[in-house]
Structure formats: structure tokens, C-alpha cells
Structure 1
């Protein structure tokens, strides 16, 4: 069910509506008289991944709150984890506007934002001040004009580690030229080794694209295991365009997210489950819009799930609905804990 304010927000260009939503969530968390989840979380949904206790397996993917302006407001929606960013060492404006497009007929979004953010130093005071009623992840990347991108990631990991429950190395955005090259070969091995060296005790996740072929998936899985990465997020947006897309905005350049990404994201989750041999926790993202899809990803091997585009279409009540329905599905199938369902299919 769509939320009541959707017609109002959808009458505004997508990026302006997004900024307004984040500002409203940030203000609500600061001034709301009843800042709390509407219902106590089900013990069935609690889980432990990478040494971290999550109240539930539903996370908000990076990209929604790039600069950590609405952390508490987003947690209040019911998410077990919120991942902010992508944050780069220096502030950067990102790509020219317009750069965010709704594909209404398809329940999808195309973006070519380009890591627009105010930089790590600007965001961290908000992170420190947040009440953080859940697990907070910080997603780090490299500046577009960096001469040494690995050094940018190392700086991000070292700087953010003391303030995050986990860190994500994002090498999967299609909107920074050449960034996805870091998903391969010696460059990936060097990146992971350098970041692991400076992360201290903070768990380190790797976010990869859904557009990898089988050889690259095997390479990423081996590199992540060898480096001691704690989990893999599969994945980011896709540069592909399913033939079923109907919106005129489908032709816009950038990464596609939302419902049309679901089939590809499911395939890649299965591929990484095979490639890792269950040696690493997997986090599923891409096209998750309801409890049945979240449950299917969990049964296929995901320890956690993340969403982004569905929140834009379904509104702030969506996380609570998904969690309620997921709890019912687990109970129906006799699972006492969500972890028991991971890989059950």
C-alpha cells in the first residue's frame, strides 16, 4: 500500500523530494515527543551477524541518508540497522543534476548521483551525537578525483571505525568512473588488505555490484575470505536494463534499483552462496519490497537484508509492515529464530 504523502512528494522532482524526506525525519527525531518504535521487536527476528547483535535482520541500505542527517528518525521506523553514506574523505558535489529518476510504472529508481556528500569530517559529529537505537553502519568510498583511491578507502576506514558498528567498503557504484575496477584481481586484494589493517576491531563488509560474472564472483569471494572480511553485501544498483521496463526514464544513464532488480539480485545471492561455501555471512540488497521477498532471500542464504527503493514507494510504515509479516512467515514455518531460516531453501 502506498503512503498518503506519495502524490505530494511525487509531484516534486525526485532529488528535492528525497532531501525533504531526510530533513523531515531528522527534525522529527529531534523534536518528536514519542521517539520510539511503535511495537516491541519480536525475539524471533533478533540475530547475530559478524559478532554484532541486530534486533531484526532488516537494514536500510546506504544512499538514503548519505550524510547521517536522519539516523535516529530512520531507526524509529523499525530498521535493525541503518547504513549511512557513501562518505568520502573530502566533500564533493557529485554528478550534474538531474541525476535521480523515478520509474513509476516499474517501481524502480535510476540514479547517477556520484557519491555526492559533505565528507567524513562533516558527517561524523552527527554520528557521534545520534542516539543510535540499532546497528549503525558507515559506508565509505573514494573521491572521484583521488589519485590514490586505496588511500581514500584507508582514510575512510581508519577515521570512521571508532564511530561505527560496522564499516562497508563500497566498490560497486557505477557512477564514479573506474571505481568498479577495484572489484577485481590485485587491486581488490590490495584494497582489502590495506583496509583490514586499519579497521581495528570494527567489522568490515564489502559491497559488490550485481553485474559481476561467475569468474569475478569466485575471485571476490576468495579475496574476501582470504583478507578476513566479515560479510559481503550483494549488491548495489545494476547498469543493466531488463526488457520489461516501461518507464521512459529507463533510458537514463546510471544504476537501476527497485523491483526490476530482484531477479538479478536473487541470482547473485545464490552465486555468492556457492562461491563462499557459507564461509561468510551474506547481506541481500536489491529489489526487496515485501516480507515474502525478504524471506526468500533469507532462505536462499542471506543473514541480513537491506532495502532502499521500496521505502520511497511504500513510505515510512513499510519497514514495520515487512517485519510483522516476516515474523509471521517464520512462525508459520516453525523457525524459532530468523538465523535458523538462513539457507534453509
Structure 2
């Protein structure tokens, strides 16, 4: 970790003269080249993969630490993620239609706070382009989740068919589907977390999954929730998920709040958009704990948001997460965070530690 922080990260942060999105794109190009080099990729998988097998929703994962959505929206580097030690990768968020996203600059670093603010706006090549890329790609050495969201120019009343189009297009390539109704960067999207709208959407998606599966077990569907919801709203959301046979939740997306930011980075924090990284660590973990308690541990949870270190990952598992995802922690801590997190999980599993009681009021 120290080698990455002292050598690699300063170089990446200087790319594009401080433009965080340019650095992100440069990193993806490097990883895309790695993804295409089969021998190098396979050698790195043998070197970096820590075996800690777990089965969630019928899916066997080589380990429970995955890549969060947003890092690889268009599946450009899917072969590289298992080579960095990840046990699964979630790509996207992808929309039915290709869209450029919001105007740049739209991604901002806060190094002292170990955080980001972004207002990307679901910039992606669209579901059809992703399907073509995945069809041409060699087999991925880990389970693949695909996060789907609403196209910006589609009104909310037409959102169900928009999500269904993405689901139908990408279903053959996914091991599970994540339904993103919680990004703060698509106008009106979070209204889909309201019980009535969410029920209509999830009812349509789960029914379509059963139709596509044609008697086989349909792909699990996870709903990604916002960290800004009240416990009452989360409880209602969980009831809707249960009523429509949703497999689990991903907790959480980025936040509109700005608590936990270093005072020196207040000007960056004032940028509109969702914040991720260290300020989300405790918030996301407590929501995971709340969901685990409310569902009596019966609903699988993917813990995401503020997993910056192996200790953070372990705390997510202790709170009740079945799997965890990393994004900001990879940028600030480097790939060793993944391996360390898996090793922590193995030690924890050997001790059979149960989730801790909730302390949220």
C-alpha cells in the first residue's frame, strides 16, 4: 500500500494537471490493455487472487470483495479486475441509450478527506454497445454484475420500459443485475425509490427476469439505495423489495451530504453532486447494519461506500454485509486494499464472528 501511495498515486493524480476524470480514463486505458493480454492477466490472477469462496444468491464468488459500479462503466477492462484480486466486478451504470453525461469537469478529488465529488450523470455508451463488447470479450474470471439506470432524456413515467430495455439487452452477460434508483446526478431519479414507483419498476423487472430465465433460476436483482434515506424510508423500501422478490440491496450510493470533509477542501465539497469515499464509511456501514437487523439477516446485502481499508471491509462484514465493494479505496489505497480485505475476511470467517447489534437511533 505504501509503495502505491508514494509512487503510483502521485503520478496518477498529476495526470491531466489535476483533472480527476482524465486520470480515471488513463487508468482505464492501462487496465484495458492488461485485460487484453491473456498470459499477463492470468499470471496476475494467480498472484493476486486470495481464495475465500462464498456463495450468495446461488452465485459462487471466489472471494467476497468486488469492484463497485462507476469505475468501469462500459466494461472496458473487465479482464483486469480479477487480476487485481477482485472476486467480482460490477460494471455500469449503463442506460438504454448512449449519453454523454453532464458537462465536464464533473469529478473532483478531496485527498485530505479521501473523498470524491462527482456529477457524472450516467455517461456511458449505452446498453447495446456494452452488450456487443461483452459478446466479443473472452470469459471473465469472476462473476459480473451489471448496474442499470434510467436514461436522462426518458421521463419518469416511461422509466420502467427504459430499464426493461437495458435488462433484456444485457441479461445474457450478467450474473446479477443492480438497479440504480439512487444516483443524485440524474434529475428526478431518486423519486423512483418511493414505494409506488419502486414497486412498479421492481415488479416489471422481476417478472421479466423470470420470463427470460424460462424455467431456470433467474438472475438475482439487487437495488442500490441512497445513504440519505431515513430509516423509515429504508424500511418501506425493504418491504417493496420483499414483496417483489428482489434478492438483496446494495448499501449505499453516493451522498448529497458533506459531513466529514476536511475544512481545507470545503470549496471542492461545495461542488454539486454525490460524495463518495471516507466520509461515507460510517454512514454506509450503519445502513448495512440497519438493513441486516430489519430483515433478520435474510436479505443479502452488498456493502458499498467508504470501504477504504481492510478494516473497513471487515467492519462491513461485521455489520451484516454478505459481499463488499470498493471504488474510492482502490484509488486512494491501491490494489493491495483488495487482497488485505480478503485476508481479513478469511480470518474473520475462521472465527465465525456474527454481525454486531445496531447502534443507530
TM above 0.5, yes or no, is yes
Cα distance change on mapping 1:101 and 1:315 into 2, 3 Å:
same
Query: How many residues of Structure 1 are paired with residues of Structure 2 in the alignment?
Result: 337
Cα distance change on mapping 1:329 and 1:94 into 2, 3 Å:
same
Ranges in structure 2 where 5+ consecutive residues have no aligned partner = none
CA shift for structure 1 position 343? 2.6
Distance 1:11 1:134 in 2: 32
The SS at the match of 1:71 is coil
Q: What is the aligned partner in structure 2 of residue 139 from structure 1? A: 147
How is 1:10-29 mapped onto 2 (pairs within 5 angstroms)?
10-12=13-15, 13-29=19-35
The SS at the match of 2:40 is coil
CA contact (8 A) 1:303 1:342 kept: no
Q: What is the aligned partner in structure 1 of residue 118 from structure 2? A: 111
Q: What is the aligned partner in structure 1 of residue 321 from structure 2? A: 302
Cα distance change on mapping 1:244 and 1:64 into 2, 3 Å:
closer
Picking from 99, 104, 108, the partner of 1:92 is: 99
Q: CA RMSD in A?
A: 1.6
Give CA-to-partner distance per residue, 1:52-77, whole Å, 9 cap, x none: 11111101110000000000011211
Distance 1:221 1:206 in 2: 10
CA shift for structure 1 position 42? 5.0
Distance 1:64 1:342 in 2: 31
The SS at the match of 1:143 is coil
Ranges in structure 1 where 5+ consecutive residues have no aligned partner = 336-340
CA shift for structure 1 position 34? 2.5
Give CA-to-partner distance per residue, 1:197-224, whole Å, 9 cap, x none: 1123111111111111011111110000
How is 1:55-66 mapped onto 2 (pairs within 5 angstroms)?
55-66=62-73
CA shift for structure 1 position 287? 0.6
CA contact (8 A) 2:261 2:269 kept: no
- Say whether residues 1:196 and 2:196 are aligned partners: no
CA contact (8 A) 1:42 1:327 kept: no
CA contact (8 A) 2:182 2:193 kept: yes
Distance 1:245 1:255 in 2: 16
Q: What is the aligned partner in structure 2 of residue 67 from structure 1? A: 74
Distance 1:243 1:59 in 2: 25
